[in-house]
Amino acid sequence: MSHNESRSDRSPMANKVAQTTGHAIRAARAHDSEAFDAAADLLALHHESREVHALMLRELLETVFPDGLTGDDVSELMTDTSRAVATWNPAVNPAAVALVLTGALGVSDTADAHAVSSAGLVGTETTAAALVVITDLAARAEVDPTAYVNRAVEEIRRAQTMEMP
């Protein structure tokens, strides 16, 4: 959060998305599938969370892969994330992990509900996948994801309040 912004400057929805994203990440780190699923279900109800998670994913990818990603990097990330989450929450769909990563890279549009449904996935699946990829990337980078969620929320707030020419 910037020095000039307090949480009270955020909309109630932005606070809810930020807090629930934090709960989901902590649950994923603890391998608490019940708490994780509850948070993912709640976040999937709010379209705004997709935008927050997309911005977080892009920034975390830049942090972990500052020189850019190769096809092997993407493949390794998809495989490692899918295998790791399968040990504690097999309900997270590997196809959703792939869709989320390709969306973050600009290859597909995970913010488009039609793209998600045409892939045979529901919003909860892509939300859960985004959260496990975020958790994995934050662990790889050894960073606190709170700063990333705060920057994503602030970026969205700034874009919504910016005057159009």
The pLDDT tens digits of the residues spanning 59-77 come to 999 999 999 999 999 999 9
Which residue, among 62, 69, 128, 56, has the nearest Cα to 97 in the 3D structure? 128
**Continuous H helices in 10-119:** 12-29, 33-44, 47-64, 71-86, 94-104, 113-118
Q: What is the pLDDT of residues 117-161, one digit of tens each?
A: 444 456 889 999 999 999 999 999 999 999 999 999 998 888 877
Please work out, in degrees rounded to the nearest 5, the angle formed at the alpha carbon of residue 7 by the alpha carbons of 41 and 154: 75
CA pair distance 89, 127, nearest whole angstrom? 14
DSSP category for residue 9: G
Please work out, in degrees rounded to the nearest 5, the angle formed at the alpha carbon of residue 29 by the alpha carbons of 50 and 86: 80
Quote the pTM value: 0.85
CA pair distance 56, 135, nearest whole angstrom? 10
